[in-house]
Chain A
Amino acid sequence: MNAIINGEPRQLAPDTTVADVVRSLTRAESGVAVAVNDEVVPKTDWARTVVSPDDRVDVLTAVQGG
């Protein structure tokens, strides 16, 4: 299955969850937020939210700015 993770196409195993995607990108346990197709997925739902084919998953964190 293909999905767009932080703007890059990626091959994912079936049943990959948002929590799996986050773990693949960062070890940070706080200060991270996720949007799937521009909708925020609350942290409490990461483990039970399965990524669907062609989903756009964005994993964001705080950086220096402003």
Chain B
Amino acid sequence: MTDAATGTTRADTFEDPLVIAGEKFHSRLIMGTGGAPSLHVLADALRASGTEMTTVAMRRVDPNAQGSVWDVLRETGVRPLPNTAGCFTAVDALRTARLGREALETNWVKLEVVADERTLLPDPVETLDAAERLVDEGFVVLAYTNDDPVLARRLAQVGCAAVMPLGAPIGSGMGIRNPHNIELIVEELDVPVILDAGIGTASDAALAMELGCDAVLLATAVTRAQDPVLMAHAMREAVSAGRRARLAGRIPIRRYAHASSPPREG
């Protein structure tokens, strides 16, 4: 649909914000900051991605550090989402979340409680326990979880503001290993579903959105790409394209051809 007077199409002026805990985001891509080769590249990649929120980890201050991710966030205007990366228990996660809240002056937290270093898979028992306690303490909890529809439902029930199932293990780039489960999670939850972890390239991000996810969270796929800034741009377009395709409604898959031209007469 093109407006003849202005030359703009409906697609150009399309308003479709992501809403988490009542806050609106225009970008459905949330970038993580982990793995960038330098703070300079990180800043450029964040800008190219169009993201409005990015995850950061909490670690002991290094007196010899040159520059900081905190400076990059202030320079780019991207809001920080402190995570609990590196925590193996609910108790650890609570402590880290409270420190993140104090340091970054936000009560939002990406809850991440992993089971072991080799797989970095979320520990479901500790994650659910921590989620419930953080919600009780007034945190807005975005919970990283397995692609388990039942656990996703439980996390939503205890009050998580968003549920973030993995596509595949963190940093693996294997894409979405169980699209069926992601669809089940999307169908059932009323809170935003954000595909987190496992994205390798643009088509994975587009698929997440086509499956009905509300947003995509990724870091490694961009920060460890050969050209992180170009990949950030690709991810921005992939998320946007996947979202529009989802809303547009794809055609059914058929076994045989379905002619798109009228048959010839005579």
Contacts and interface: CB of A to CB of B under 8 A. Distances in A.
Interface in B55-71: 55-61, 63, 68-70
Which among B59, B61, B70, B81 has the highest number of chain A CB atoms within 10 Å?
A: B61
B49 interface: no
Interface residues of A, number: 24
Interface in B91-121: 95, 98-100, 102-105, 110, 112
Nearest to A59: B61
B42 interface: yes
Interface of B is mostly: mixed
Task: Report the contact-size class of chain B (Cβ under 8 Å from the partner).
Answer: 35 or more
Interface string A51-62: 000000011111
Given A25-B63, A26-B63, A31-B104, A66 B57 contact: yes
Contact of B99 (A6, A60, A64): A60
User: What 8 A-B pairs come out closest when comparing CB atoms?
Assistant: A65-B57, A66-B55, A33-B103, A31-B70, A33-B102, A66-B83, A62-B56, A33-B99
Interface of B: 32-36, 42, 55-61, 63, 68-70, 73, 80-83, 85-86, 95, 98-100, 102-105, 110, 112, 219
Interface of A: 6-7, 25-26, 28, 30-35, 38, 40, 42-43, 58-66
